[in-house]
Amino acid sequence: MTGVTISLTFVVEECPVSTIPRNQWYVAAYGREIGHDLFSRTICGESVLFWRTESGDVTAVSDRCVHRRFPLSQAPSRLVDDQVVCGYHGFTYGADGRCVAVPGQTRIPRTARLTSYPVVEQDSFVWIWIGDPARADSTRIPRAPWLDSPDYTTVSGMEPLQARFGLLVDNLLDLSHETYLHGGYIGTPEVAGTPITTEVDEEAGIVYVSRHMDDAECPPFYSKSTGLSGRITRWQDIEYTPPCLYKLHSRIAPVGVLPNADGTDPDAFHVEVVYAITPETENSTHDFWAVARDFALDDESVSDFLRESNRTVVLQDVAALDVLEQVIATEPEGYQELSINIDTGGLAARRMLAAQLAQSADRTAVAGS
């Protein structure tokens, strides 16, 4: 016998420091994506298996069998009623992740349990809690009520982004890029040329950036959808609740038309552009986007136009950020960025994300000690 030792366990490799805040709610999917079929998506580096149970609720568990980690979303793994049967050796799990059967023996190991994730279906999204389940408080999930309101019509989609989620946060917090990257779609000279006001409420976890253009060119995105042809008043009010949900309250009206003193605003067009920025891995992101409008509610051609246009705009960002990710991933350490006034909101968002990250790192360190 030679002195060969066989390791019975795999050593978990030390991973580089994460940039993804844990103990946070993230959008995992649109509700419409999940039916009574196995559905898998990687969220914050974790492979998660979803399905809609017979009772209609979405359930989320780890997509790795506890036995030999075969993906439970992978055929011939399958769903039988509300139980998932591993396609490799038949471990069978309930919707709560508990193993209910193993092959060849009656004793089920006590640790045979899939990680189960808190999920909440709200505002057309499926939200998932990534972190310590004991700390999941569903009342803290930010709202986007327009997305399933009868007073609005919404088009939506999701584009995969091969870039870290922070790059999309930077991108969305500074809309001056519309003028350059999205010229001819949503960008006009006034966007980059108009000062912004930034507000931060650290306690509530909100970064708010306003850009109010009093007399601006109307970009095709809005002229074709609203029918306005002349110059417009265009307000962009960003409300970002890090890490995931981003809302752009967009108000379009003829020049000089302002909301009434009582807050009603019957002569303006309102578009709520919502993004959910969900890290897939450290270097890739699920870019959920939705456009809700309070006009032309039943006009299919307006829906088609806004869907196509917004998707085009999102793909312009994706192309740019995919390149930027490669640049950042391959550059030497210590590159110094330069920030100017347009970055005021983006810097506030970065700071809030860094605080969330530090908090989740603390908790992990405490839990692991």
Partner 1 sequence: MEPTRVLSGRKVLRVVWLPGSDRLQGNCHCGAVHIADDPVEVWTWLLAHPVGHEAPAADPPPPARPEPALATAGAGS
Selection from partner 1, ligand FES, Fe ion, none that 311 binds (CB < 5 to 8 A by kind) is none
Quote the tokens at residue 201. 């409420």
Looking at beta carbons only, is 65 or 314 nearer to ligand FES?
65
Question: Under rule CB under 6 A, how many of the chain's residues touch ligand FES?
Answer: 9
Omega within 30 of 0 (cis) for the link into 254: no
Quote the tokens at residue 180. 């350059």
Interaction between residue 204 and partner 1 (CB under 8 A): yes
Among 19, 42, 67, 148, binds ligand FES (CB under 6 A): 67
Interaction between residue 91 and ligand FES (CB under 6 A): yes
Three-state DSSP class for residue 282 = coil
CA distance 79 to 27: 24
- Stretch 312-341: interaction string toward Fe ion, x if CB under 5 A: -----x------------------------
Interaction between residue 185 and ligand FES (CB under 6 A): no
Among 29, 49, 61, 86, binds ligand FES (CB under 6 A): 86
Tokens 């390791």 correspond to: 7
Q: How far apart are the first and last CA of the chain?
A: 40
Q: How far is the CB of 310 from partner 1 (least distance, A)?
A: 24
DSSP 76-132: T-EEETTEEE-TTT--EE-TTSBEEEBTTBSPPPTT-B--B--EEEETTEEEEEES-
Interaction between residue 70 and ligand FES (CB under 6 A): yes
Tokens 């051609």 correspond to: 301
Among 65, 130, 155, 207, binds ligand FES (CB under 6 A): 65
Three-state DSSP class for residue 356 = helix
Q: How far is the CB of 349 from partner 1 (least distance, A)?
A: 11
94's CB contacts (< 8 A; 6+ apart) are 82, 83, 100
Among 200, 252, 291, 318, binds partner 1 (CB under 8 A): 200
Closest CA to 242 of 292, 283, 276: 276
Interaction between residue 287 and Fe ion (CB under 5 A): no
Secondary structure letter of residue 64 according to DSSP: B
Question: Under rule CB under 8 A, how many of the chain's residues touch partner 1?
Answer: 25
Question: What is the contact surface with ligand FES in residues (CB under 6 A)?
Answer: 65, 67-68, 70, 86, 88-91
Question: What is the contact surface with partner 1 in residues (CB under 8 A)?
Answer: 195-204, 206, 208, 210, 212, 214, 235, 237, 339-341, 343-344, 347-348, 351
